[in-house]
Amino acid sequence: MKIYKFGGASVKSADGVRNLEKIVGNANDKVVVVVSAMGKMTNALECVVNSFFNKKSDTAQNIEKVITYHEEIIKELFGENRVSVDLMIEELFSNLREITNQKPSLSYDYEYDRIVSFGELMSTTIVAAYLQSRGLEAEWIDIRRCIITDQNYREGNVDMELSRRLSSEVMMEKKLCITQGFIAGTATNQTTTLGREGSDYTAAILANLLDAESVTIWKDVPGVMNADPKKYKDVQIIPVLSYKEAIELSYCGASVIHPKTVKPLQNKKIPLYVRSFIEPEKPGSAICNYTQPIDLPPIYINKGNQVLLSLTPRDFSFIAEERLSKIFGVLASYRLKSSLVQTSAISFSLCVDYNEVNFQKMIDELRDEYEVLYNTDVELITIRHYTKEIVDKLVGEKKVYVEQRNRLTARFIIGN
C-alpha cells in the first residue's frame, strides 16, 4: 500500500482534479489518497469562523463564496451529469449553513475545527465522485472515524493504537481510498484538526498505522529545493535527504513538509517522496533513512509574518529556568510557537509566528511581570550549510536584530 497526498494547490481547479485522476489511475498498488481543501479554501473558511464567532453580519456572504467556488469546479468536472455528487455536496453545504445559523459556543477552537473541516470534506467528496465517474473503484472515507484524537482542538493529539485498529478495519482491504488531510475526530464524534497545514502529517500517520510502503507528497515544485523557487532564481533540487535533515528544515520553516511529518515515518523507516504533480514522470526527492554523508548545498528558508519579542523582568531578577518555564507556558496557552530564542542575564528574546488576537492577549499577560518590547513584521532567515558568500548575499546590509550560528546553521531576524 502507498499513501499519496495532494495539497490545495494540486486540486484548486477542475484541471487539477483531472490531473490527480491521471496520477492515481496510473498507480499499480493499493493507494490511500489524502486530499487537502481546494485552493485557498482553508483561508476562506477561517473568514467564516471569525465572522460567525464574532457574530458579524457577513457570515452568510462568506459561506456563499465557499459554496460558489466548489459549485464552479463541480460544473466544469461533471457538466449535466452531476447527480452522483449533488446529493453529497448539498448535504455538506446545508450542514455548514445550519452550524452558522446557531449561536456559537464559548470555544473559538471548537468552532474553528468543526467549520474549517468542511474544506477537506468538500474537496474529497468532489474528488471521489469524479474518480468514480471515470471508472475507478474509489471509496470516500471519513478520516474522523479512523484517526482519533483527544479534545485538544486545533492541534489534536492522536491516539495511535485506537487509530491503528480503526484505520486497518476501514482501509486495509480497499483498493483506492479517498480521505481528508488535516482533520480528525474524537471518541465522542467531535471534529478536531491536527494543526495548520497538517495534511502531510495525516499522510504520515496513515503510513505508520497501515505499514505503508511509502508516502508521496505531490506538489507544484519538482522536489525538495534548496530555496523557494518563487523567491529566488537558480535554485536546485536536492535528490536525497535524511530524516534528520528534513526535521531540521521543517522546524526552521521550510514549507515543503509539515514539521510533524517525519517522526511517524522515521519510526518505521518509511520513505517520503516529494514529487511534482505538473511533471509526475520525474523522480523528485526522497527523504529516507539515509546514513551516509551527503554533500548538500546551502539551503535557505525565509519565514515571514514573525514578531521579535524581548522581555526584561521588572524587578531585574535573572532569567532563570523557572522564569523560562513560565514564559513558555504562557506561549503554549495562546498556541504561539517560538521560531528562535535567545537569552542573557536579565533579558529574554524570542521570535514567534504572528497571530494578532492571541499575540496581544499574551503581551497583556506578560506585562504584569516584564517590560515588553516587540517588533512586528520581521523576517526569519535560516541558512543550513551556510557559507560566508551566501550569508553576504542574503543578509548583506539589511538590519539584523538577532543573529545565531552553529556548525551547520545560521539564523537572522531581519527588520523590514
Q: Please tell me the predicted confidence (pLDDT) of residue 10.
A: 96
Residue 274's pLDDT band (boundaries 50, 70, 90)? very high
- List Cα–Cα distances, 47 to 34, 60, 108, 354, 360, in angstroms: 24, 11, 13, 17, 20
Q: Please tell me the predicted confidence (pLDDT) of residue 337.
A: 85
Q: Please tell me the predicted confidence (pLDDT) of residue 91.
A: 96
- The answer to whether 297 and 385 are in contact (CB under 8 A) is yes
DSSP secondary structure string for all residues of 163-213? HHHHHHHHHTT-SEEEEESSEEEETTS-EEE-STTTHHHHHHHHHHHHT-S
Q: What is the CA radius of gyration of the chain?
A: 22
Q: Please tell me the predicted confidence (pLDDT) of residue 84.
A: 81
Q: pTM of the predicted model, to two decimals?
A: 0.92
Displacement of CA 277 from its chain's centroid (Å): 18
Largest CA distance in the chain: 72
Q: Which three cell numbers stand for residue 399?
A: 538590519
Residue-averaged pLDDT of the chain? 94
pLDDT tens digits, one per residue of 165-207: 999 999 999 999 999 999 999 999 999 999 888 999 999 999 9
Residue 251's pLDDT band (boundaries 50, 70, 90)? confident
pLDDT at 255 over 90: no
Question: CA 294, 202, 272: angle at the middle one, nearest 5?
Answer: 25
pLDDT at 271 over 80: yes
pLDDT at 293 over 80: no
Q: Please tell me the predicted confidence (pLDDT) of residue 258.
A: 81
Residue 309's pLDDT band (boundaries 50, 70, 90)? very high
Amino acid at 330: V
**Cα dihedral sign, 127-130-134-135:** positive
Q: Please tell me the predicted confidence (pLDDT) of residue 367.
A: 93
Q: Please tell me the predicted confidence (pLDDT) of residue 341.
A: 93
- The answer to whether 167 and 203 are in contact (CB under 8 A) is no
Burial 39-74 (b: 16+ CB within 10 A, else e): bebbebbbbbbbbbbeeeeebeebbeebbebbeebb
pLDDT at 291 over 90: no
pLDDT at 107 over 80: yes
pLDDT at 37 over 90: yes
Q: Which three cell numbers stand for residue 173?
A: 482491504
pLDDT tens digits, one per residue of 46-72: 999 999 998 888 999 999 999 999 999
pLDDT at 21 over 80: yes
Helix (H, G, I), strand (E, B) or coil at 69: helix
Q: Please tell me the predicted confidence (pLDDT) of residue 82.
A: 87
DSSP character for 237? Answer: B
pLDDT at 102 over 80: yes
pLDDT tens digits, one per residue of 346-360: 899 999 988 877 888
Mean pLDDT over 271-286 rounds to: 96
CA gap 327, 316 in Å, rounded: 16
Q: Please tell me the predicted confidence (pLDDT) of residue 372.
A: 94
DSSP character for 415? Answer: -
Nearest partner of 215 among 165, 144, 287, judged by Cα: 287
Percent with pLDDT over 70 in the chain: 100
pLDDT at 214 over 90: yes
CA gap 247, 5 in Å, rounded: 19
Q: Please tell me the predicted confidence (pLDDT) of residue 20.
A: 98
Q: Which three cell numbers stand for residue 285?
A: 526527492
Phi, psi of 248 (to 5 degrees): -60, -45
Mean pLDDT over 243-248 rounds to: 91
Percent with pLDDT over 90 in the chain: 79
Q: Please tell me the predicted confidence (pLDDT) of residue 318.
A: 83
Residue 22 contacts by C-beta under 8 Å, 6 or more apart in sequence? 280
CA gap 100, 115 in Å, rounded: 9
Q: Please tell me the predicted confidence (pLDDT) of residue 2.
A: 97
pLDDT at 323 over 90: no
